Amino acid sequence: MVDSVATPEPQLLKPGVKAPVAETLLTPRFYTTDFDAVAKLDISANEAEIRAIVDELRADYNRHHFVRDDEFKQSWDHITGEKRRAFIDFLERSCTSEFSGFLLFKELSRRLKKNNPLLSEAFEYMARDEARHAGFLNKSMADLKLSLDLNFLTKSRTYTFFPPEWIIYTVYLSEKIGYWRYILVNQHMQEYPEYQFYPLFRKFESWCQDENRHGDFFKALLRSQTKLWKSWQAKLWVRFFLLTVFATHTMTVFERASFYEAIGIHPRKYNNRVIQETNNTSARAFPLILNTNHPEFFWRLEQCSENNLKIAAINKSNQPSLVKFFQRIPPIIAIAWNMLQLYLIKPIDTETTRGTVL
């Protein structure tokens, strides 16, 4: 049994335009980086692979895919209640994270044009893809009589600075986890079409190939920088980013369990599968992956999620702020403790077997 939080009624910025949800550690972030340092990256160690992926991105296989065909042209008023609220929440979260990718890639493309034309071209194609994805999701929200003001979002959100190394690790992981999230929903819908209450999910099959290519680009970029996979510091960072991405995923899936249940997906099974597949995929890029088969692995991730739900309940209660502050301390300590225990689980070395299993 999975506890979930009932999705709140959407707040409006103006009629038909949804106010973005409050920023928390779990909402998709907007990033900025040291653009000059990215422009100076020496990619010669893996240039052939990077060029091959840029060729693929240039081919633009999905240029005719994002079309709103006749299936979309009908009323969606029959989607009501918690299902409607949870679906809007899913669309908003997905749209925001696609749009966040668009803004970062667009800026990278613009700032690298002069000094690193190859990377600039790659980021231009990836920005093109993310703009399509965000636009398609926003039109789906409009079918539910709401949309996001992306201009407002661009100006109002805080931008988190990440050095280029962190951007490479986290964007690689978010593209690959995005691929698995979309493809597993699509496979589920193919198997159980009765849950396909809206035609968006049908689009995920080709859509996720964009994310897969983006991930492959970041993998090639990562492997071109020896210090990002060969140093002991790299190994510590990789463990950290794998863990934070998987913990965030677990917390968001369980927080939004009602959406997954509405489309017939078991939240725990889905979360575990997405994490296992993403972890296995990242063996191609990273010098190590996490041991998801360790008996405590998913149990501790779920402990983090349960404590996150406790924090959400405290935040929603009518207690005075000071009381809430003290009430939040035990669950925050519990999350930190479980994350530390997870971090200390011995990881799996992927460099020694590289070339034989990949």
Complex with Fe ion: residue 95 or 243, whichever CB lies closer: 95
- 124 contributes a contact to Fe ion by CB under 5 A: no
Q: How far apart are CA 341 and CA 344, in angstroms?
A: 5
Does the protein bind Fe ion through residue 277 (CB under 5 A)?
Answer: no
Determine, following the binding rule CB under 5 A, whether residue 213 of this chain makes contact with Fe ion.
no
Q: Shortest approach of Fe ion to residue 355 CB, angstroms? A: 28
129 versus 302: smaller Cβ distance to Fe ion: 129
Number of residues located near Fe ion, criterion CB under 5 A? 6
Decide whether 172 or 254 has the Cβ nearer to Fe ion.
Answer: 172
**Smallest distance, Fe ion to C-beta of residue 213, A:** 8
Nearer to Fe ion, 157 or 176 (CB): 176
Q: Residues 142, 14: contact at Cβ < 8 Å? A: no
d(CA 79, CA 358): 44
> How far apart are CB 212 and Fe ion at their closest, in Å?
9
Does residue 128 interact with Fe ion by CB under 5 A?
Answer: no
Asked if 133 is part of the footprint of Fe ion (rule: CB under 5 A), the reply reads yes
Q: Which residue has the tokens 């399509």?
A: 132
181 binds Fe ion (CB under 5 A): no
Candidates 85, 203, 214, 310: give the one binding Fe ion (CB under 5 A): 214
Residue placing its CB nearer to Fe ion in the complex, 98 or 255: 98
Residue 267 CB, nearest distance to Fe ion (Å)? 22
Q: Is 302 in the site for Fe ion (CB under 5 A)?
A: no
Strand partners, 31: 160
User: In angstroms, what is the minimal distance from the CB of 133 to Fe ion?
Assistant: 4
- For the chain, count helices (H), then strands (E): 12, 7
Query: What share of residues in the chain are helix, strand, coil (percent, to 5)?
Result: 65, 5, 30
Cβ 98 to Fe ion, closest distance in Å?
5
Choices 4-12, 18-26, 154-162, 175-183; region in contact with Fe ion by CB under 5 A: 175-183
d(CA 52, CA 279): 24
The C-alpha atoms of residue 196 and residue 72 are separated, in whole angstroms, by: 13
Q: Counting Cβ atoms within 10 Å, is residue 216 exposed (0-12), middle (13-18) or buried (19+)? A: buried
Question: What single string gives the DSSP state of each residue in 90-120?
Answer: HHHHHHHHHHHHHHHHHHHHHHHTTT-HHHH
* β-strand partners of 185: none
Q: Tell me the closest approach of the beta carbon of residue 36 to Fe ion, in angstroms.
A: 24
In the three-class reduction of DSSP (H, G, I as helix; E, B as strand; rest coil), residue 290 is classed as coil
C-alpha 106/C-alpha 111 separation (Å) is 9
> Smallest distance from the beta carbon of 264 to Fe ion, in angstroms?
24
Q: How far apart are CA 56 and CA 51, in angstroms?
A: 9
* Closest to 172 measured CA to CA, from 235, 216, 124: 216
Retrieve residue 33's tokens: 């980086």
Pick the binder of Fe ion from 98, 216, 277, 302 (CB under 5 A).
98
Query: Which segment (159-167, 173-181, 247-255, 270-278) binds Fe ion by CB under 5 A?
Result: 173-181
Applying CB under 5 A, among 89, 124, 143, 211 the residue interacting with Fe ion is 211
Q: For Fe ion, which stretch binds (CB under 5 A), given 129-137, 142-150, 250-258, 280-288?
A: 129-137
- Window contacting Fe ion (CB under 5 A); options: 3-11, 45-53, 208-216, 218-226: 208-216
User: Which residues of this protein are in contact with Fe ion, per CB under 5 A?
Assistant: 98, 130, 133, 175, 211, 214
